Amino acid sequence: MRWAGFLAACTAVAAAGLCAPGKARAQDNNVYRFSPVNQYGINVTAAYWNPIIAYVSEKSSVQLQLKIGRSSADTTAFVLAQEVKFVFSNHLFSPDREHLGWKAFGRRLTPPVQSQLIVSDDSPITDLTQLAGNEVAFPGPEALVAYKMSAAHLMSRKIEFKTVFGGKVAAVGANSQLAEGYARREGRKYRVLWSGPPVHDLALMSAAKVPDAHFVASDGSEYASYRDFYRTAPAALR
C-alpha cells in the first residue's frame, strides 16, 4: 500500500492553516482525532495505524490521535457524534449523512474493490439461488461494500436469506480486497458466487469545520458509485 498520498495530504492540510507549525506550538493540547473504519481486529488496526499517525504528526505538526471502537459500527458512532476530525471511511456518502459536511480529500493508490458473495471452495453451493432460506454472514451493519451492497443484490434477485453477523453459515458477504488477503494469509480457498461493480477504496475525509487544503487529490466525485447505490438500495439498507 502506498501511503505517500496520505502523508502528503496531511502535510498539505497543515500547510493550509489547520495547524501550521507555529500555531501547533501555541496549541500543544490541540489534538485531532482520526478514525479509520475497522477492517481488522482492534490490535491489528492499532498496530497498523499508530506508526503512520506518529510519522504524520511529526512531519506535519498536526497532532493526530487514533480513535477506534470495538466494531465498525462503534467507530462510525464516534464520527457521527462529531468526536473526530479525520476519517478513513466509506460510511458517510448516504443521503442522511452527507448533510454533515464531511469532505473527501484523498484516497489510497490501490485497485478498486468489489462487493462479493463467497462460499468455501468445497461448498455444494454453486449458484446464488441456492442461498434461499440459508444464513449469510456479514462483517457488520455498517459495512457498505461487504454487507449493504451484497445484501442489496440478493434482495434485488428476490432471494430470501437470513442476515447474521457471525457464526457458521452458508455464505458470506465480503470486500474483495479483504477476502483475498484473508485467503492468502490463512491458505484458504473460496468460490465467488457474485461480484459487484468495482468501486474505489475508502476515502480520507475531514470534518466540515476543518479548513480546505490547498490541493485536490480527491474531490469526492470518484465516490459517485456509492451515491448511486443509495438511490436504488432497499430502504432498510440506506
Q: Which three cell numbers stand for residue 99?
A: 448533510
Asked if 64 and 14 count as a contact pair (C-beta separation under 8 A), the reply is no
**What is the structure's pLDDT at 97?**
94
Kindly report the length of the chain. 238
**What is the structure's pLDDT at 68?**
93
**What is the structure's pLDDT at 26?**
33
Domains annotated on the chain, with CATH: 4-109+201-230 (3.40.190), 115-195 (3.40.190.10)
For 148, which DSSP code?
I
**What is the structure's pLDDT at 29?**
57
Asked if 20 and 61 count as a contact pair (C-beta separation under 8 A), the reply is yes
pTM, two decimals, is 0.78
Regions of the chain with pLDDT less than 70: 1-29, 212-217
Each residue of 42-53: b (16+ CB within 10 Å) or e?
eeebeeebeebb
**What is the structure's pLDDT at 4?**
44
Asked if 83 and 33 count as a contact pair (C-beta separation under 8 A), the reply is yes
**What is the structure's pLDDT at 217?**
63
Asked if 14 and 60 count as a contact pair (C-beta separation under 8 A), the reply is yes
**What is the structure's pLDDT at 9?**
52
**What is the structure's pLDDT at 156?**
97
Dist. CA 35–CA 68, nearest whole Å? 6
